[in-house]
Amino acid sequence: MEQVIRTRGLTKDYGSVMALDDLSLDTRPGMSGLVGANGAGKSTLIKVLLGLVPPSSGEATVLGLDVIKDAAAIRARVGYLPEHDCLPPDVSASDFVVHLGMMSGLPRVAARERAAEVLRHVGLAEERYRPMGGYSTGMKQRAKLAQALAHDPRLVLLDEPTNGLDPAARDDMLGLVQRVGQDFGFSVLVTSHLLGELERVSDNVVILDSGRLLRASQTRDFLDATGTLLVEVIGEDAQARMGHALAAAGVPVQARGGLLALDPDPELGVDVHDLIRDTAFDLGVGLVRIQADHRRIEDVFADA
Amino acid sequence: MPEVPRTGVIHDLGYRPYDGPRNGSGAIAWALFLSGFRNAFGLGRSGKSKVLPFLLLGLNLLPAVIVVGAMTLFGLDELPIDYSRYASSTQILLSIFVAAQAPVLFSRDLRHGTISLYLARPLSSAAYAVARWAALLAATLVFLLVPIIALYVGAVLSELDFWEQTEGAAKAILLAVLLALGLTGIGGLIASVSVRRGFAVVATIAVLLLGNGVVTAVQGIAEVQGEPRIGEVAGLFSPYSLYRGGMAALTDNVALTPPTGAAMTAAYFGVMVLVAAVGFVGILVRYRRIAGR
């Protein structure tokens, strides 16, 4: 499959600080997540990929274009949502997106049409004619996303798109990001220092630590079912009674918050689901749910 | 915060990719120049931001309109104010214009972080800087040249000697271009290193008007004390005294301690070009640094 981002031995040192250290990675079309703590090199990587900062050594290509030789061509095909504020308060989102569309090479008329289109997609309706200084953080993030999509890029680099948003707005934003990748058909690289967010939206995840590649794989691989079952029961002292009964039946049980985590031995010889159902029935406790336990990206990060 | 419609009509319309024409760097830079030029006069911005530039533009043009009116009314046989003298007498308005509008083109993008969006687009940092610089230069030239052209048209329509008027206006335009280059370099450089608009305005006015005041004082003292050479050298340190020196060298207008001798005259024009070049290169270097951050 075609590679969207490809780096080989990419190194960037700012004097004493090693921002990127011999980084080799590939991302494929689709949604890619880039995870790392603050200072892990995420923003430096994006700057190198945009051709704004030359690498100290190594090479990188974006959409098959070299970051040093074809920087302008890359920037014409890539949309970028920076982490920090970048919106002038006295300009309306509509004017702003039109202008930046033109700065990406769209003729004026096309820029107007595209601005109306992307602002509609990010969910800015009548507000788009108001100065952006009066926008909520969520609306500002939408306007920032709109300018990144204005020129119909092939790849979108989203640097911490959920930064500073409350949980509801964060959810909306992630939904939008997901749509950009799935419905619009762009390749997306989205960074975050919150692993759980990327788990939801990305097909594959790259983890950076101090400028080095910690791990890169498909999100699916991170989240493979572990074989553990989680059981929730209600009733008087239900959890403890259920736990004892299951342990007596030969299934190792641990309490995990309000849930029971079961690690049945595959050799047990009985269907664990049936056993759980029957045990709950015998004890007279309410069985709320049985679910497979998936690993979370956090766990992978903790293992590494 | 309004709810985002994640389903329904908006979703169903679907995303349409764009496959129309795309402009190259030249057309993008031209678009940036044009929007910058318009912004310098508050066009394409809020109503409030049009007040100051147009007020200054009007005040700057007013004397020329009065002069032209008086010429036609009283049938004067020469212009009461010389073309190149005009910019010198309205230098306060000119300084305020440059000081107030340079930050519109340079500081705003830095203050609000919009610069990172420009830099993530096809234009290089140098092309961005040149487009911004050219927009400020063009706006300053409009400010300087409109009164000269008004005077010239008035003079020619009043049937003053055509060649004499053309020569005077041409010299004034040459001097105006040199002055505009210098002011753009100074105002642009100050605005591009200051994130705060207020600081840029105050610093630019200080450099232009206070600098001129100090130089003029030194020149006045030098003339009274019979040491014109000191005044001539002092004149090299402010764009307005350079302008007056150049004006005295090119035209019959009088100025305090005008440059004497070919070397000093050449130095005046040389420094004018140098100031413009240093400002221009400084702006380029500044944006190169910003891009690499």
User: How many residue pairs from chains A and B have C-beta atoms closer than 8 A?
Assistant: 123
Bigger pLDDT: A304 vs B115: B115
CB contact under 8 A, A175 and B6: yes
Domains, in order of start, for chain A: 5-222 (3.40.50.300), 225-303 (3.30.70.270)
| The two three-digit tokens of residue A284, written as one number | 């007279």
- Is the pLDDT at B179 greater than 80? The verdict is yes
Task: Tell me the pLDDT tens digit for each residue of A123-172.
Answer: 998 899 999 999 999 999 999 999 999 999 999 999 999 988 998 899 99
| The two three-digit tokens of residue B93, written as one number | 């308005």
pLDDT of residue A296: 60
Banded model confidence at residue B240, pLDDT cuts 50, 70, 90: very high
Task: Tell me the pLDDT tens digit for each residue of B110-153.
Answer: 999 999 999 999 999 999 999 999 999 999 999 999 999 999 99
Among A86, A141, A184, the residue to mutate for chain B (most B Cβ within 10 A): A86
CB contact under 8 A, B121 and A169: no
pLDDT of residue B30: 97
Question: In this prediction, what percent of chain A has a pLDDT beyond 90?
Answer: 44
Residue B179 has φ and ψ, to the nearest 5°, of -65, -45
Measure CB to CB from residue A107 to each of B23, B46, B120 and give the nearest one. B23
Question: Which burial class, exposed, middle or buried, applies to A199 when counting CB atoms under 10 A from its CB (0-12, 13-18, 19+)?
Answer: buried
- Is the pLDDT at A225 greater than 80? The verdict is no
Q: What's chain A's Rg over C-alpha atoms?
A: 24
Q: Which residues pair with A159 in a beta bridge?
A: A191
Question: What is the nearest CA distance from A179 to chain B, expressed in angstroms?
Answer: 9
Give the mean pLDDT of B40-66. 92
Task: Tell me the pLDDT tens digit for each residue of B68-103.
Answer: 998 888 888 888 889 999 999 999 999 999 999 999
Q: Which residues pair with A23 in a beta bridge?
A: A10
Instruction: Tell me which chain B residue has its CA closest to the CA of residue A148.
Output: B117
- Is the pLDDT at A55 greater than 90? The verdict is yes
Residues 6 or more apart from B184 whose CB is under 8 A from it? B98, B102, B133, B136, B137, B140, B276, B279, B280
Entry pTM: 0.84
Banded model confidence at residue B13, pLDDT cuts 50, 70, 90: low
**Contact, A4 vs A63, CB < 8 A?**
yes
**Contact, A75 vs A52, CB < 8 A?**
no
pLDDT of residue A276: 87
pLDDT of residue B207: 95
- Using the structure block, give the residue that is written with the tokens 């100074």: B186
- Is the pLDDT at B3 greater than 70? The verdict is no
Task: Tell me the pLDDT tens digit for each residue of B199-226.
Answer: 999 999 999 999 999 999 999 999 999 9
| The two three-digit tokens of residue B107, written as one number | 């500081």
Task: Tell me the pLDDT tens digit for each residue of A169-182.
Answer: 999 999 999 988 88
**Chain A residues in contact with B112 (beta carbon < 8 A):** 85-89
pLDDT of residue B84: 93
**Chain B residues in contact with A176 (beta carbon < 8 A):** 4
Residues 6 or more apart from A138 whose CB is under 8 A from it? A165, A166, A169, A172, A173, B1
Establish if B89 touches chain A: CB-CB under 8 angstroms: no
Listed ranges A39-48, A286-295, B145-154; the one with the highest mean pLDDT: B145-154
| The two three-digit tokens of residue A75, written as one number | 């920037």
